[in-house]
Amino acid sequence: MRDPCVVWFIAYKLNPNVSLNRLEDRLLLQKIGYMVQEILGYNLGYKFSWYSYGPYSRTLSRDLHAYETACIARGNMLDDRSLSQLVDRFTSIYVKAQSLCKDEPMARTLEIIASIHMLAKNTYPPSTDPVADLLRIKPYIRRTCAEEIERMLIEEGIIDRLGSDQVK
């Protein structure tokens, strides 16, 4: 069962002004969806493809539009303890990454986290150097920022160290 409301909920928590009218926000919502499902392991029921703008799900894009009002109406779902924990875990990863890339906007930071994770874990053949592969298609990303975030994801046990079995 697909559930876009969790994505809406976290997005509002991070930025109450998030809007589907802005392309940047729509991509931000996609990255949140990816991170919740693929990094935090909360199955939202979406399949993410790998495009130059990072992990992206067409079905999630449709659902975000279609269920926006319904999801806002479900705003009291934070009462659910497991969702609160999910938000806390999400925020913790985001805050750590943001501290490593202080000048980057939120959408860019999430884009880097989600893209490095997708390259390392969910593309095929798996990337042996996610940062290099990422910078090749997104030359506007700062190398130091991508490298710091990759290191943080390894330290958190979210992706494996390069050269391990996971990325062979």
Partner 1 sequence: MNMQKYRKKVYDEVHGYIELDETALKIVELDVFQRLRRIKQLGVTFYVYPGAVHTRFSHSLGVYHIMRKLSERLSREGYIKRDDIPLLEAAALLHDIGHLPYSHALEMFYLRSERSGFGHEDLSREVIVNDGDVKEVLTSVGIDRHEVASIIEGRHREPLYNQLMSSDLDVDRMDYLVRDSLHTGVTYGSIDLDRLLETISVDPEGNIAVKDKGLIAAENFYIARLHMYRGVYYHKTSLGYELLLTLIWGELINMYNELKPFRSISGIAGLIRSGVFKYLDDYWINGLFYRILGEQGGFADEEIKDLISRFLYRKGYKACYDQTVLVYKEAPNKAEIEREVEGILRGMKKKVGDVDEKYMLVFADTIPVYKEEEAVSIVTGKGDSLKIHEYPGSFIGRLPKYILIKRIYIHPFLYQLAGCM
Helices 81-100 & 106-117, crossing angle to 10 degrees? 100
Q: How far apart are CA 111 and CA 109, in angstroms?
A: 5
Task: Please tell me whether the peptide bond between 126 and the residue prior to it is cis, using omega within 30 degrees of 0.
Answer: no
Q: How far apart are CA 135 and CA 127, in angstroms?
A: 13
- Chain residues 55-84 in contact with partner 1, contact rule CB under 8 A: 56, 58, 61-62, 65-70
> Which positions from 23 to 62 touch partner 1 by CB under 8 A, shown as an x/- string?
x--xx-----------------x-xxxxxxx--x-x--xx
In the complex with partner 1, the residue whose CB is nearer, 38 or 104, is 38
Long-range contacts of 103-106 (CB under 8 A, 24+ apart): 104/142, 104/145, 105/24, 106/14, 106/15, 106/28
Size of the site for partner 1 (CB under 8 A): 38
Tell me which stretch binds partner 1 (CB under 8 A): 8-16, 21-29, 35-43, 75-83: 21-29
Instruction: Point out which residues bind partner 1 (CB under 8 A).
Output: 1-2, 20-21, 23, 26-27, 45, 47-53, 56, 58, 61-62, 65-70, 118-119, 122-127, 133, 136-139
